Amino acid sequence: MSFTGSLSRPVTSTTPSLHSRSYPRWTDDLQGLRKRLQDAWSDATIHESFRSPAGVQVMPSHGQCAVTSAWLIETLAAAHVRNLTYCTGDLYSMDAPGQLDLEHHAWVEVTYADDRLVVDLTSDQSTLLRPQPVTYAWHDDLQTLHRIDYRTHHRLTPLQLQYDPIHTRLAALKQALQSER
């Protein structure tokens, strides 16, 4: 996988960006990464507060956003992508002010100059984005064109993320990804 270069299309929509900004070439690989991750998700990688009772059907990405975003941060950093931020917060509908769509979510932001590229490999948890499993778009385009507000409560750099308690689940995800090779 190559994570360099530029020019791609947003997964969230065929609508062009407000500012004719292109997307980094590594975004072309996001759908494939999601597929690999989905095959590796398990009870060992799900956040404990999102575990469902036996027999209750939930979508595969349910409770996997934090571990997935932490893995993506490491993967992009290893490919020399800079200005990465691990974000946690909520998703709101811009069409109904104050309408919470998804609470306690995690995603990645990559900062380019004054722009933030939101990258969410578990966006199908959102009713506003479903059935789209992968979303990437400029933050202001998400608000203006897609009417979704990714509202961040906490931000961690890759260095800060190394001290987050997510690492037990992240190790389980990495082991599962290694096993499927």
For the segment 59-99, what is each residue's pLDDT rounded down to a tens digit?
899 999 999 999 999 999 999 999 999 999 999 999 988 89
* pLDDT value of residue 56: 75
From residue 135, how far is each of 17, 36, 63, 64, 109 by CA, in Å?
14, 16, 17, 15, 12
Tokens found for residue 45? 């990688």
Domains defined for the chain, CATH in brackets: 25-48+60-179 (3.10.670)
| Phi then psi dihedrals of residue 37, to 5 deg | -65, -45
Give the C-alpha separation, 174 to 115, whole Å: 30
Residues contacting residue 19 through CB under 8 Å, at least 6 positions apart:
138
How many CB atoms within 10 Å of residue 48? 8
In the structure, what pLDDT confidence band is assigned to residue 113 with cuts at 50, 70 and 90?
confident
Helix (H) / strand (E) containing 75: helix 65-78
In the structure, what pLDDT confidence band is assigned to residue 6 with cuts at 50, 70 and 90?
very low
* pLDDT value of residue 82: 96
Say if residues 21 and 71 touch (Cβ distance below 8 Å): no
